[in-house]
Amino acid sequence: MSYFRITLMRSAIGLPERTNMVLHALGLKKRMATVFYPVSRDVAGQIMKVKELVSVQEVDRPLTKTEVHMQRKPDLGYYVERTSEQEWEGRRYE
């Protein structure tokens, strides 16, 4: 079964109340919030109403909150390599 992964990319501030109600019905309250829904015509119609505000992907399974967080977390950009503890202790006092 396929799922829609819907992420709110833009705020709905200043838009008509009907647009806000569609976002609320989808469960999107804050920017960068992500929800998963099974692929259906009803959900596709809701997405079309707010297509300028959301990002949609089709995925095989819904991800947990932790998995979504880990996907967004950037790499550190560096790696710390340590040798033996004795070498590390010796370098500390030099």
CATH number at residue 33: 3.30.1390.20
82 part of a folded domain: no
How high is the pLDDT of residue 83?
59
Are 56 and 83 spatial neighbours (Cβ–Cβ below 8 Å)? no
Reduced to 3 states, what is the DSSP secondary structure of residue 88? helix
How high is the pLDDT of residue 16?
95
State the total domains in the chain: 1
Whose structure tokens read 């806000």? 20
pTM for the whole thing?
A: 0.75
pLDDT less than 70: residues of the chain: 80-94
How high is the pLDDT of residue 72?
84
79 part of a folded domain: no
58 part of a folded domain: yes
89 part of a folded domain: no
How high is the pLDDT of residue 92?
55
